[in-house]
Structure 1
Amino acid sequence: MQPRTTIWELEPHTAAKHEILRRYIQAWAPILSQGNFPHLVFVDGFAGPGRYSEGEEGSPVIAAKAVINQLRPIKAKVDFHFIELDEKRSDHLATEIGLLTFPSNVSAKIHGGRAFQDTFPEVWDSYASRPGRSRPPTFVFIDPFGFKIPFSNVVKVLSAPSCEVLITFMFEEINRFLSQGQQPDNFDDLFGCRDWREGIDIKLPRERVKFLHDLYQRQLTQAAGARFVRSFAMRNERNTMDYFLFFATNNELGLKKIKEAMWRVDESGTYTFSDATDPNQSVLFSAEPNRELLKRLIVGKFEGTEVTASEIERFVVHETPFRETHYKKVLQTLEGAERLIPIDPPANRRRGTYADINMKLRFEPKT
């Protein structure tokens, strides 16, 4: 529900989402800066007032500090754009941002009193590629209370090299208005197609959740052209679906880093994050991964074949909720049970190690 006050109470699910954002931007900025990108851009499309009622930091302050408080200063030029429709909130945000000390290579601009759908195209076009100047890598955080998120803007971001989006897909509100058959133009804009109408007649809640989730995920991959899309489900204390976080990128390292952020976020005990990209692989994020499930996924994919450790890692990172740090213990277990046989291993190899990522491994069929 949209707050009516300038600042409001921070909810546990928002705190967890902000922790994910903080961890990701802490990795994103130095990786790209060290990768010889001289210019980076961060856009917060629904920035808010910058602080909550008990003094907690909002997403603009969190993102800015994730850059300016690096142990090794970021060398690239970094531009922050904070878009906030409510003028009282944008004024409050200006005060919060004014309290920060920015190095000369980092700037922040607040776009107050204007909506995301009107402002973002102008911000985006201001960085258009020109002769001798390419578009800088851009991270766009789209975190609305409602669902006025033109899909055309998402397509713009994902069609450009080294640009990524993190989107809050407000399922509960979307589902409510969908049932009422209201705002068809807004839904056309949100999904970038008319196919959402098929969901109106789906009555079973579980099937409705899956339909809307899968449609938006399909649009990110097929219509927007994202190579990697992962979605994260947020359920409330009643175990009711609240919203999905969709992360979309064309960069494998970005995929690895968002997974790292998700697996490391502190659990509040009130809300539950899980990977929802594939309903057959739904995984709760916790201190220790469910390696039994990962083992089933790996064996199901490779049983009876010969593959390299590199191919296994690629499968884990690209096609499962798990990280590249999770699968080697699974391989150790399988090798110990004689279900995994190294082929022509190096003479000095220790059993249960997979340092040579090009070493062939044979998955024995279960007898």
Structure 2
Amino acid sequence: MAKRDVLWPIEPHTKGKHLVLENYLAAWWPIMASSNKRVLFIDGFAGPGKYSGEEDGSPIIAMRSLLNSPRRMLRSHVQFRFIEADSTSAEHLKSLCERWKESLPPNCGLQVIPGAFDEHLTSVMDDLEKQSTALDPAFVMIDPFGVSGTPMSVVRRIFKNPRSEVLITYMYEYINRFKSTYSFEHKLDELYGCANWRQALEEIDPARRDRILFDVYEKQLRAAGARYVLRFNLFKGGRLFYALFFGTQDLTGCDKMKQAMWKVAPDGDFAFHGYHTEQLTLGLETVDFVPLMNELSGRFRNSGWVKIEEIENFVRSDETDYHSGHLKVKTLRPMESEGTILVDEKTRRRKFAYTPGTRIRFV
């Protein structure tokens, strides 16, 4: 691979990924930095911090997002760790971070670590955990150019802290192109943490082959420690380009990430699609809620009377591409009007209200 310049033009698909990060951190910082002694943000492939058009890279986005949060909410000690393998990029990022130190609150720590992600992540987390008597919330961004240096063993180490979350770029197009190359297979064994992905090599049908590749990776993330795993596919035109995987043990984090994804509107040829409903394009002004209605009916039709809290938890989880903001007004109200749900009137104060304790039956 030809060596990049220190700064390079930002790709359209990168803009979407950065919007997801910014949207999520806008919700994450106020929650985590207001209720914990310390919070960790680790970028495993930090880059130089800027693009040639002066667009911010992920480290700057993370720091800016923190500064944009209400100061009264930022009571935690925040630790930023930016890992970058390319020495020139790391030096450029260091110079940017020196300027940013003046803007960050005094309760922030910042370090740029030159070196490979897989070689340094374990020691970074070990050192940070030794400094604290409690397990600190950690957000880890894993955004490689290819697949090297992102083994499942490192992800497993991250989830040794059950309060960790990961946002991983799964380089589908790169993996799909080279998966049959003998020298590449070992790298994929490390990426997956197993050899089960090789079942895809024997599959002729492209759709089934892709499902094997994605499903095995999802299962491995769960085995590594993620209770909830989200996947959203980025398409370029009609072609799958890459996927974003998000892993967490927190239901609120799962829901907030879905909300962040839905805020990213299609940009040119690029658009994020759902996983459970692949034809679902995220970020459009007009949203089709019929798939969510069908999912709810399929999940609860044989459950009798169900409390609204159970329905909300389903929508907040990784069992649907939709999020909690889509549930009541956009989905339950139309279903009640159409008679596809019944509501126990004794459990609510007024029609079309779904307050805590409301009981609903899907018919």
Same fold (TM over 0.5): yes
Tell me how far apart the structure 2 counterparts of residues 3 and 15 of structure 1 sit (CA, whole Å): 22
Corresponding position: 1:298 with 2:296: yes
Percent identical pairs in the alignment equals 35
Q: Look up the equivalent residue of 2:163 and give its one-letter code.
A: S
Secondary structure (helix, strand or coil) at the match of 2:92 reads: helix
1:135 corresponding residue in structure 2: 135
* SS at 2:71 equivalent: coil
Distance 1:334 1:266, change over 3 A: closer
RMSD over equivalenced CA pairs, Å: 1.8
- The aligned residue for residue 121 of structure 1 is 122
CA distance in 1, matches of 2:68, 2:272: 27
- Residue 43 of structure 1 aligns to a residue whose secondary structure is strand
Q: Distance in 1 between matches of 2:215 and 2:231?
A: 10
- Tell me what 1:95 maps to: 95
Tell me which residue corresponds to 2:266: 267
Residue matched to 1:338: 339
The 1:303/1:150 distance shift into structure 2, 3 A limit, reads: same
Separation of aligned partners in 2, 1:96 and 1:308 = 51
- Give the Cα–Cα distance (whole angstroms) in 2 for the partners of residues 22 and 83 of structure 1: 19
Secondary structure at the aligned position of 2:147 is classed as coil
Secondary structure at 1:362 match in 2? strand
The alpha-carbon deviation at position 288 of structure 1 amounts to 3.9
Gap change, CA 1:211 and 1:186, over 3 Å in 2: same
Counterpart amino acid of residue 243 in structure 2: F
Bigger Cα displacement from structure 2, 248-257 vs 323-332? 323-332
Cα 1:126–1:143 change in 2 (3 A) is: same
Q: Output the TM-score relative to the length of structure 1.
A: 0.92
* 1:105 equivalent in structure 2: 107
The AA in structure 1 aligned to 2:59 is P
Q: Give the match's secondary structure for 1:232.
A: strand
Q: Secondary structure at the match of 2:267?
A: coil
Structure 1 spans left out of the alignment, 5+ residues: none
Tell whether the 8 Å contact from 2:200 to 2:210 is kept in structure 1 after alignment.
Answer: no
Shift of 1:346: 4.7
Shift of 1:354: 0.7
Return structure 1 stretches of 4+ with deviation > 3 angstroms: none
AA of the residue aligned to 1:295: M
- Does 1:82 find its partner at 2:79? no
- 1:169–1:245: 8 Å Cα contact kept in structure 2? yes
Runs of at least 5 residues in structure 2 that lack an aligned partner in the other structure: none
Is 1:215 aligned with 2:216? yes
TM-score, normalised on structure 2? 0.93
Letter in structure 2 aligned against 1:19: L
Map residues 218-229 of structure 1 onto 2, 5 A cutoff.
218-221=219-222, 223-229=223-229
Q: Give the AA of the match of 1:236.
A: K
Deviation at 1:269, TM superposition (A): 2.6
- Whole-Å separation in 1 of the counterparts to 2:117 and 2:251: 28
Give the match for residue 49 of structure 1: 48
- Matched residue SS, 1:325: helix
**1:40 — aligned with what?**
39
Q: Is the 8 A contact 2:29 2:69 kept in 1?
A: no
Q: Deviations over 1:192-243 (max 9, x none)?
A: 111122222223322222111111001111x212110000101113x21111
Where does residue 190 of structure 2 map in the other structure? Answer: 189
Following superposition, the deviation at residue 160 of structure 1 comes to 1.3
Counterpart AA for 1:302: F
Q: Paired residues, what number?
A: 355
For 1:60 and 1:10, the matched residues in 2 are separated by 15
SS at match of 1:165: strand
How many Å separate the matches in 2 of 1:295 and 1:79?
42
